[in-house]
Amino acid sequence: MLVLVADLHLQENTPAEQDFRAFLRRLSAGTDDVCFLGDIMELWIALPAFENDLQRDFLEWCRQELPRRNIYLLEGNHEFFVVQHHRDCFSDAAENCLQIGENLFCHGDAILTGNGRGHLLFRWFSKCRLAHFLLKYLPCAQNIVSRIKTAMQERARGYSKAFPAQAVEAWSKEQFAAGIKNVFLGHFHREYRRQRRNGPNLFCLPDWKQRQEIAVYDPADGTYQVMHWRRYAASTRGHTVGSATDYTTRTRK
C-alpha cells in the first residue's frame, strides 16, 4: 500500500502537530510506503538558522523508517531547499514531479492556472541559488522570511476556492500522452478525481490542514481510497499492513 499525504501546513505547538505525530507513530507500526505531496510545513526553509524542532523530528522519523519502507517527498510552494539538503532522508524526492513506475506525483503548484506566471516566477526565484545565498548569509534574512510568511498567509486567504479543472485536466493529458497511467496531485486543497476503468487516472488529494484526510493507493489492484487519518489508523491497528514495494523512480524537472 502507498499512503499519500498533502498540504498539512503544520506549525509547532498546535493540535495539528500532535495529530501528525500520532499519524507517524501509526505508520511506524506497519510497513506501508508513504508519499508526502508538499506543503507539509507552513514554512520550511532547510537551512540551520530556520529549521525548527518539528521539522528536525520529521527528518529523524524518515531516517529511522527508511530501512522499513519507501518514503517520498515532493516540495510544495511552502518548502525551500529541503530536497537539496535532506535528500538522504527519503527514498526519493523532487522539487517538482517524481515518476515512480507509471505513476507521477507532483505538488501541483507549477501547473499554470489562474495564479498566472507571477507565481511561477516567484517559485523559481525563491528556490534558486541566489535566494539560497541571501537566506544563508544576509543578516536580516529572518526578518525578511517573517514578512514573506505573513504575505503568503494573506495570499492564501485570498485565493479562490474554485478548482481549476480545465487547466489540471489539460496538463494531465500531456502526462498521459507521455505514458503516465496515474497522476497524483496536492496543492489545490480539494479532492478531485477522474477514474477510468482501464486508466489513465487523475487524483487530486484533499488537504490535511482542514480535513485531516489522506489517500491510500494499492498498486496491486489500482484501488484508491480517501479517508480521515484516524480511520486509517483504526483499520490498521493490531496488525502489520501492506509491504514495502520496490519502485523504480525517476525525477522529472
CATH of the domain at 30: 3.60.21.10
C-alpha cell at 99: 515518476
C-alpha cell at 63: 531516517
CA 39 to CA 33: how far, in whole Å?
19
Contact indicator for 56, 64 with CB cutoff of 8 Å: no
Contact indicator for 103, 70 with CB cutoff of 8 Å: no
**pLDDT digits 0-9 by tens, 95-150:** 999 999 999 999 999 887 655 666 767 777 777 787 777 777 677 777 767 776 67
Q: Mean pLDDT across the stretch 11-21?
A: 95
138 SS3 class:
coil
CA 38 to CA 153: how far, in whole Å?
16
Query: In the chain, which residue ranges form alpha helices assigned H by DSSP?
Result: 15-28, 53-65, 82-86, 116-126, 129-137, 141-158, 165-177, 208-211, 229-236
Q: Mean pLDDT across the stretch 214-233?
A: 94
Region for residue 69 given its phi and psi (left: phi exceeds 0; alpha: psi -120 to 50; beta: otherwise): beta
CB-CB neighbours of 21 under 10 Å: 15
Task: Report the mean per-residue pLDDT for the chain.
Answer: 86
Q: Please tell me the predicted confidence (pLDDT) of residue 153.
A: 65
Query: Is residue 200 over pLDDT 90?
Result: yes
Give the structural domain span for 58: 2-252
Contact indicator for 108, 187 with CB cutoff of 8 Å: yes
CA 160 to CA 198: how far, in whole Å?
33
Q: Please tell me the predicted confidence (pLDDT) of residue 128.
A: 75
Q: Mean pLDDT across the stretch 231-249?
A: 61
CA atoms within 13 A on the CB side of 178: 14
Nearest to 4 by CA among 36, 31, 38, 29: 36
Query: Is residue 160 over pLDDT 70?
Result: no
Query: Is residue 224 over pLDDT 50?
Result: yes
* Identity of residue 96: N
CA 127 to CA 80: how far, in whole Å?
6
CA 187 to CA 7: how far, in whole Å?
6
Confidence category of residue 247, pLDDT binned at 50, 70, 90? very low
C-alpha cell at 204: 487530486
Provide the percentage of residues in the chain whose pLDDT is more than 70.
Answer: 83
Query: Is residue 204 over pLDDT 90?
Result: yes
Number of domains making up the chain? 1
Q: Please tell me the predicted confidence (pLDDT) of residue 238.
A: 54
Q: Say which residue, 140 or 200, is predicted with more confidence.
A: 200
Confidence category of residue 250, pLDDT binned at 50, 70, 90? low
Contact indicator for 212, 19 with CB cutoff of 8 Å: yes
